[in-house]
């Protein structure tokens, strides 16, 4: 009985959980884990509500938690309020998934396109993780999973901002993993190649798949299975890793 109550208070927070890869992660965690799902989004409430419906259909429980990962004040206020209403709750899994692209050649790149992308992926990771990590360390257990990208691993022309943001999160993943490993908190990054979502809907899949050994874009569900494993107890000795999931395009 006590165990049951404790389990009901454990949450997994997925930033950018309203659509795409984030939604698939919410649903997969609802299927695979004991966690209640905290679905973060920035502006698309309808999409977030659809994710919640799917979480429930998958047999899980969830809540919406809107905030802008870029805005530290918004992150802190939302999480403080949430914690106030959930006194015994523990966010044990953090999936830093929110991300955007503002592609363009570096020479023509506007400062706002540089800053928005860095702010979302890199500062978003900082704002959310910095706010929550103390609780993981006190509880001596946690899983932090950062959604990075093939672009952060190898650099992609036309995406200097995005490559820099994701590359920086990769470095932070490795550094943070070493700081917190003794306390059973693991920190890993998942680096997808081309995955069919809103983010890639403008790309020419027919043309691009010629350079992908698997000859297709990946699905959000495929990424979600990997995240679900990293979020589980089974991944306990994996930390500081950057795991590619890209149909063989780069290793």
> Site residues (CB under 6 A) for ligand NDP?
15-16, 18-22, 40-44, 47, 68-70, 97-100, 120, 147, 149, 192, 194-195, 197-200
Query: In angstroms, what CA-CA distances link 150 with 66, 83, 251?
Result: 28, 35, 9
CB nearer ligand NDP, residue 180 or residue 191: 191
Fill in the DSSP letter of residue 119: I
CB nearer ligand NDP, residue 6 or residue 205: 205
Contact 157, 202 (CB under 8 A): no
Helix (H, G, I), strand (E, B), or coil: what is residue 75? helix
Sorted by sequence, the CB contacts under 8 Å of residue 80 that are 6+ apart come out as none
Taking the complex as a whole, the smallest distance from the CB of residue 62 to ligand NDP amounts, in Å, to 14
Taking the complex as a whole, the smallest distance from the CB of residue 71 to ligand NDP amounts, in Å, to 8
Q: Write down the catalytic residue from 141, 162, 237, 250.
A: 162
**What distance in Å separates the CA atoms of residue 222 and residue 28, rounded to the nearest whole number?**
10
Taking the complex as a whole, the smallest distance from the CB of residue 21 to ligand NDP amounts, in Å, to 4
User: Checking DSSP bridges between strand 62-64 and strand 90-96, what pairing results, if any?
Assistant: unpaired
Taking the complex as a whole, the smallest distance from the CB of residue 245 to ligand NDP amounts, in Å, to 9
162 is catalytic: yes
CB nearer ligand NDP, residue 11 or residue 41: 41
CB nearer ligand NDP, residue 44 or residue 184: 44
* Residues linked to residue 192 through DSSP beta bridges, in sequence order: 245
In 90-230 the beta strands, taken as DSSP E runs, fall at 90-96, 142-147, 185-192
* Enzyme catalytic residues: 162
């Amino acid at each position: 009985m006590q165990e049951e109550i404790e389990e009901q208070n454990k949450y997994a927070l997925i930033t950018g959980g309203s659509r795409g890869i984030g939604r698939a992660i919410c649903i997969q965690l609802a299927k695979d884990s004991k966690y209640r799902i905290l679905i973060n989004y920035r502006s698309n409430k309808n999409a977030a509500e659809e994710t919640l419906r799917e979480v429930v259909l998958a047999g899980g429980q969830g809540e919406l938690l809107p905030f802008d990962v870029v805005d530290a004040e918004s992150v802190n206020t939302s999480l403080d309020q949430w914690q106030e209403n959930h006194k015994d709750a523990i966010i044990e899994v953090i999936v830093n998934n929110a991300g955007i692209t503002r592609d363009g050649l570096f020479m023509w790149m506007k400062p706002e396109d540089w800053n928005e992308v860095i702010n979302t992926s890199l500062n978003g990771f900082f704002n959310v993780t910095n706010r929550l990590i103390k609780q993981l360390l006190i509880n001596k257990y946690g899983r932090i999973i950062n959604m990075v990208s093939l672009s952060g691993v190898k650099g992609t022309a036309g995406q200097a901002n995005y490559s820099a943001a994701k590359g920086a999160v990769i470095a932070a993943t490795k550094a943070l993993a070493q700081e917190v490993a003794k306390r059973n908190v693991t920190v890993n990054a998942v680096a997808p190649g081309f995955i069919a979502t809103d983010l890639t809907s403008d790309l020419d899949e027919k043309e691009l798949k010629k350079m992908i050994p698997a000859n297709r874009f990946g699905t959000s569900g495929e990424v979600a299975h990997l995240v679900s494993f990293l979020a589980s107890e089974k991944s306990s000795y994996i930390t500081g890793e950057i795991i590619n999931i890209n149909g063989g395009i780069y290793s």
